[in-house]
Chain A
Amino acid sequence: MAWKDDWRRVRAIARKDLTTELRAKAGFNGVASLAVTILILLGLALGPDGEALRNAAVGAVWLATLFSGVLAFNRSFQVELESGALEPLLLYPGPRWTIFAGKLLGNLVFVSLMVAVVMIVGIVLYGITIPDRWPTLLGVTALGVVGLVVLGTFYASMASRSRAREVLLPLLLFPMLVPVLLAATTASKALLGADLMHESGAWIRLLIGYDIVFLIATFIAFEHVIEA
């Protein structure tokens, strides 16, 4: 059954990526530490006034996520390039989208764990009180993470194989993520407050639309960009 084989490949790649990341010395711990460090530095730069910090919290969390996310995305392809494993990977039978889906899944788990850490640290450092509508807040965050990981994984598949990957990935990725950043931060801020104008709904719809559009687009385009 072709479906089952493909799904098996997707799972195998995700499992392989997560295992290598968790075992690698500078893996999850390194990336999460960077995110927390950014959060701390932003706190120092924007504080110490409690009010200012509370207002900046959402932005700080998302910036820390974006900057450390870039590291995570490059690493997910680095593991193939370091050992020359990309060639054998491309030689296995089966459709290419399984490679993208596997990497996507691995990155989703990785970045979600990282965001969880960042949010907890952010709540503590920036003096956030957990709002009533926290499930919706989590939903908004999840939608934002999906958008981030879909485009981050896709662009990293190219940038990590080019000459200036540290510069190229953020340069390509960040302008693309402007809608995600605006939607996630504005909706989150509204939900942390009372969301009197019910604006979070519109932003959530934007995020869903964005995620769907780019999920489809990246899956279609991956074939074209993965070959040497």
Chain B
Amino acid sequence: MKGFIILFISIFFTYSNGYTFLVDKYDKEIELESKIILNIAEVSLHEKVKLFIPHITISERDVYSKIFTLTKTCDKSNFVYVKTENNEDDLCMDKNKLYFTNNYKKLLSNDKYFGAFFWSKSRPNIVFIKSRLNREHLSLPQNYQQFIEDL
């Protein structure tokens, strides 16, 4: 009987990965994204990063709060990362903030964003716009130079 229970538990644990849909799925993609955003925010700002993500999801909050100080409103933040497709152009007009997005189209169409991190053909891509970096008086380290575009 003891052997049967051990066997049953072993099989159950071996295949437990298949049942993770029963709980909130931990998204590796969000984790990777959060680390990249942390790196970008840290090289862009010379103070402690206070991040605001409009319409943040629960799983994003769980992942981001581990490495960021998240703010509930845009006013209290110094780095705004806009992920939604919604029109956030009127959001938080304060000029002493850095705006970043996950949408390349948004980056091209709205000059308040100084850069974007997005998935292109399922691969992570980063773009910074040179003129906007200059406007914000941002100078990125050497390893970020390959991502700067002169658009």
Asked if A and B bind, the verdict is no
Name B residues whose Cβ lies closer than 8 Å to a Cβ of A: none
